[in-house]
Structure 1
Amino acid sequence: MARKAKEPVKYPGVREKNGRFTYRYSIQSTSKSGRKQKETPSFPTAKEAYEAGIRIKAELLNGVYFEEKDILFDAFADEWLLMYAAPGKVKNSTVDIRRWELKKCSPYFGTKKIGDITKLDYQKMLDDQKKKGAAKNSISLLNTTCKMLFKKAVELGVIKNNPTNGSELPAYTETVEDLENKTDLPHYLERDELSKLLTVIKIQGETQDYNLFFLLAYTGMRIGELAALKAKDINKTEGYISITKTIYMKGKATEFSLNTPKTKSSRREIDITPNVLSVLENQLAWRNEFKMSRRNEYYDKDDFVFVNNKNLPGYPLNIISLDKRFKDYLELAKLPSNLTPHSLRHTHVSLLAEIGIDIETIQERLGHSNAAVTRRIYLHVTKKRKKEASEKFDMLMKDI
């Protein structure tokens, strides 16, 4: 009788023991052979073990695999950040957010071995964050980052148990005072307030300041998108601006990078009117004149529309200083000081809603696939318009 052919191994490298599956791989060692056999933690299915092993092999190839069971939390956090950023799938700004969140963990168990951190230790940290006044969203972001880190530690075999499993975010119960003072509506300018602000900036401010605040209000662009705008992004013939990038700055203004937009829907073309195009042309004329006045020191590698016009001519706008200048103009115009340059984006939404533009068109213009903030502003403005419509109807029919 012919011997039955051996079935091909569906998941090579996977071993089964007592109904659990592991993946065997090898790493460099100081032994005579120069290699050491390792196994992943056990998984309930062969597929999960195989996928965990493939991830580790990819990390070994990319030089980001880390193997040390007695490593301290802070040291592993540094290594994890390198792994997190290595594939290039996340933006620098996202890596910085993760780094900032992990710094919050250091006072609790930074010098503790990562394998010694218990579920109780982790829950106490979350609860203590609330006692110190951290907002609910802030603790949620911290928890998300920690879950990613400890999950990777388990996958690498650095720890056996994930201390974040089963953790609960602290409960936040709203008081009567909270409900009375709460407002879900973001700050924005009414039409007459925007007109007043822009008039003050035009008369008392700098040319570039007027042009950039005008553009933010009339296009709804994000500040990072405006700072990254280049002359080639302006299509004068067909009347639109292409949004293909956003600026990222960390530390020195000269150490900037151009990143892809925030989301897929953020890549868009914003239609502009002759009025907006006129302001853009005015900005380019001002920029070219400024460039000639500082040509010996002007940064000319990127053709930015809005530029640093102080100590680093030609480099991107100093976005941080925009907020301070905006506050100064608000004070001159005697307008609320709780507004920011980003409020002009909200203002753009409110004005479009006021003239009857539908929510889908507004979201597309702003590069939002589904923005709760945009929807809240839209519903607030249209609710007011609907109420005015009913009042006008009553006035029309009052003599009947």
Structure 2
Amino acid sequence: MVKKKVSPIKSYKLKNGDLRYEFPAYLGVDPLTGKQKRTLKRGFKTRKEAELALARIKLDVANGTYQQERAETYQEIYDLWVKQYEKTVEESTFVKTTGLFKNHILPAMGAYKIEKIHVDVCQKHVDEWAAKLKKFRMVKAYAAKVLDFAIKRGYIQTNPFAHVDLPATASKKALVNDDDEAENFYTREQLIKFLSCLEQESNYKAYALFRLLAFSGMRKGEALALTWNDLNFTTNELRINKALSRGKDNQLYVKSTKTGVARTIKMDDKTMAVLKEWKKKQKQDYLVLGFNTLQPKQLVFSNEHNEYMQPTKTRKWILHVQDKYKLSTITTHGLRHTHCSLLFEAGASLKEVQDRLGHSDVQTTMNIYAHVTKKAKEEAILKFANYIEM
């Protein structure tokens, strides 16, 4: 009796219930490794279609004419690029980048044949991103990276994104937004009022955290990753060598600082006294919750489970105080801008401010300096007008 041959073609269902067919296929021997090459072909709408495709592959392999399919679409090139990209960046950066692709770039360009993408197509999408996204330049830059990767792999010769014009209206809009961002800080008087109001509240942890941010210029993630052994109460020094960030699956984890460089900064007596007082309160408060906070790697600011605080918590705290006492609204990050601005007003040099805040690019420091200079000029003309009294 002749044994019936089992077909390698199998059926499977899509999420919407539609039926599709797939099959494994032998592709011959890889001349580079000497090992057998196999692949899985799927997505066929009928069994007949799958049978024909399998027969073609078998014939091409037997004749030595089979060529492995190359990536054809932007999505397929992206899938190759993103595997390499993940090895070169921090987990938090990878998560943010893949989010940009998922939400903006792939829905727009994913289905395009890679060799058919031209400058007009790229211009169209840049215009669309510019109309709705504040950081459209970043989106455009990442979209272009995939095509740069395609050039390296020999799929295309030039990158059409290199010839795109940035929309003039979007540029103006960006300038307005930059000005808005520049206002995200307190003056000396506003900061004193803010901290005074905060001190009256029952949340001493929030007061200690915001006081630290305002008087150190630390990034919020750096403050939330601090452990008590990073503080030296004898020398009034603070060691900043890590930061809390959000990685895959929305999980919090500790990474290096934004620039990857650790720094040690001097602190004032009052802020260190506030932190010392918080250390005592933390010990008492957390003992009630069943935690010993005298461990060497105890977090300075932790949640009720003595684990990493959710970074979003500070927004609730700062808005509560601003609303309650009718204060000007700034973000938690605005306290970093505040520190930078007041350092310049106090006479600190560009290099001193750059080192203290951990800016890798002096241009970032200079942008804030330019705003402080503008404020000083405005104050100068007011003093002049008051002096003349006309």
CA apart distance, 1:93: 2.5
Match of 2:90 in 1: 91
CA apart distance, 1:124: 2.1
CA apart distance, 1:144: 1.4
Q: Does 1:102 align with 2:101?
A: yes
Match of 1:375 in 2: 369
CA apart distance, 1:231: 1.1
In structure 2, relative to structure 1, the CA distance for the partners of 1:179 and 1:173 (3 Å cut) is same
The DSSP-based 3-state class of the residue aligned with 1:319 is coil
Q: TM-score if structure 1 supplies the norm length?
A: 0.70
CA apart distance, 1:125: 1.7
In structure 2, relative to structure 1, the CA distance for the partners of 1:209 and 1:33 (3 Å cut) is closer
Match of 1:150 in 2: 147
In structure 2, relative to structure 1, the CA distance for the partners of 1:241 and 1:115 (3 Å cut) is same
Write out aligned runs for 1:233-252 (5 A): 233-250=230-247
In structure 2, relative to structure 1, the CA distance for the partners of 1:248 and 1:121 (3 Å cut) is same
CA apart distance, 1:387: 5.4
Is the 8 Å Cα contact of residues 246 and 261 (structure 1) preserved in structure 2?
yes
Cα RMSD for the two superposed structures: 3.4
Give per-residue Cα distances to partners, 1:92-143, cap 9 Å, x unaligned: 222223212322122223233434434432232222323x4333xx222122
Runs of 4+, deviation exceeding 6 Å = 174-182, 388-392
Match of 1:327 in 2: 319
CA apart distance, 1:247: 1.2
Distance 2:92 2:371 in 1: 27
CA apart distance, 1:227: 0.8
- The gaps in structure 1 that reach 5 residues or longer are 1-28, 38-66
Write out aligned runs for 1:238-317 (5 A): 238-250=235-247, 255-263=251-259, 267-295=262-290, 302-309=297-304, 313-317=305-309
Give per-residue Cα distances to partners, 1:52-93, cap 9 Å, x unaligned: xxxxxxxxxxxxxxx85144433432332121112xx32122
**Which amino acid is the alignment partner of residue 281 of structure 1?**
K
Give per-residue Cα distances to partners, 1:147-199, cap 9 Å, x unaligned: 22112122223x23344354313322489999999836332112222222222
Match of 2:9 in 1: none
Is the 8 Å Cα contact of residues 245 and 252 (structure 2) preserved in structure 1?
yes
The DSSP-based 3-state class of the residue aligned with 1:229 is coil
- The gaps in structure 2 that reach 5 residues or longer are 1-25, 35-67
Match of 2:336 in 1: 345
Match of 1:69 in 2: 70
Distance 1:177 1:33 in 2: 54
The DSSP-based 3-state class of the residue aligned with 1:307 is coil
Match of 1:50 in 2: none
Is the 8 Å Cα contact of residues 303 and 309 (structure 2) preserved in structure 1?
yes
Is the 8 Å Cα contact of residues 211 and 280 (structure 1) preserved in structure 2?
yes
Q: Identity over aligned residues, as a percent? A: 23
Write out aligned runs for 1:1-400 (5 A): 30-32=27-29, 34-35=31-32, 68-86=69-87, 89-103=88-102, 104-130=104-130, 132-135=131-134, 138-157=135-154, 159-173=155-169, 183=179, 185-250=182-247, 255-263=251-259, 267-295=262-290, 302-309=297-304, 313-337=305-329, 339-368=330-359, 369-370=361-362, 371=364, 372-383=366-377
The DSSP-based 3-state class of the residue aligned with 2:239 is strand
**Which amino acid is the alignment partner of residue 86 of structure 2?**
A
Q: TM-score if structure 2 supplies the norm length?
A: 0.72
Distance 1:150 1:286 in 2: 55
Is the 8 Å Cα contact of residues 185 and 335 (structure 2) preserved in structure 1?
yes
In structure 2, relative to structure 1, the CA distance for the partners of 1:96 and 1:68 (3 Å cut) is farther
**Which amino acid is the alignment partner of residue 279 of structure 1?**
V
**Which amino acid is the alignment partner of residue 350 of structure 1?**
S
Distance 2:173 2:143 in 1: 33
Distance 1:85 1:161 in 2: 25
Distance 2:370 2:188 in 1: 18
In structure 2, relative to structure 1, the CA distance for the partners of 1:326 and 1:356 (3 Å cut) is same
Distance 1:297 1:111 in 2: 55
In structure 2, relative to structure 1, the CA distance for the partners of 1:360 and 1:391 (3 Å cut) is farther
In structure 2, relative to structure 1, the CA distance for the partners of 1:33 and 1:173 (3 Å cut) is closer
The DSSP-based 3-state class of the residue aligned with 2:312 is helix
Stretch deviating more after TM superposition (196-205 or 226-235) = 196-205
Distance 1:110 1:323 in 2: 36
The DSSP-based 3-state class of the residue aligned with 1:357 is coil
Give per-residue Cα distances to partners, 1:14-53, cap 9 Å, x unaligned: xxxxxxxxxxxxxxx943455389xxxxxxxxxxxxxxxx
The DSSP-based 3-state class of the residue aligned with 1:287 is helix
| Count of matched residue positions in the alignment of Structure 1 and Structure 2 | 325
In structure 2, relative to structure 1, the CA distance for the partners of 1:219 and 1:140 (3 Å cut) is same
